[in-house]
Amino acid sequence: MTAPGTFEIRVICAPEDIDRITAALAGAFTTGPARAYPTRDRTRIRLYLTATDRAPTPTQRLAQSDH
């Protein structure tokens, strides 16, 4: 079970893609540690990550002068 505001990401991938996929997901979301398990046929990996959306980056706006 995940806490409110979090969700689980599940990916099945080749073992050589684990680092690339976890880095891409960590770049897009705030993630916890990846949990990896072999698939039933033992040829691929099942990755599980708990994630939350990142807060949007604040935007600085300049007010126009009336003068």
Residue by residue, DSSP assigns 8-60 as: EEEEEE-GGGHHHHHHHHHHHEEE---EEEE-TTSSSEEEEEEEEEPPPPP--
Q: Model-level pTM? A: 0.71
pLDDT at residue 59, rounded to an integer: 60
Q: Going residue by residue through the chain (67 aa), what tens digit of pLDDT does each one get?
A: 566 679 999 999 999 999 999 999 999 999 999 999 999 999 999 999 999 987 666 666 666 666 6
Domain boundaries, the chain: 6-53
Which class for 59: exposed (0-12), middle (13-18), buried (19 or more C-beta within 10 A)?
exposed
Give CA–CA dist 8/49, Å, rounded: 6
Do the beta carbons of residue 45 and residue 15 sit within 8 Å?
Answer: yes
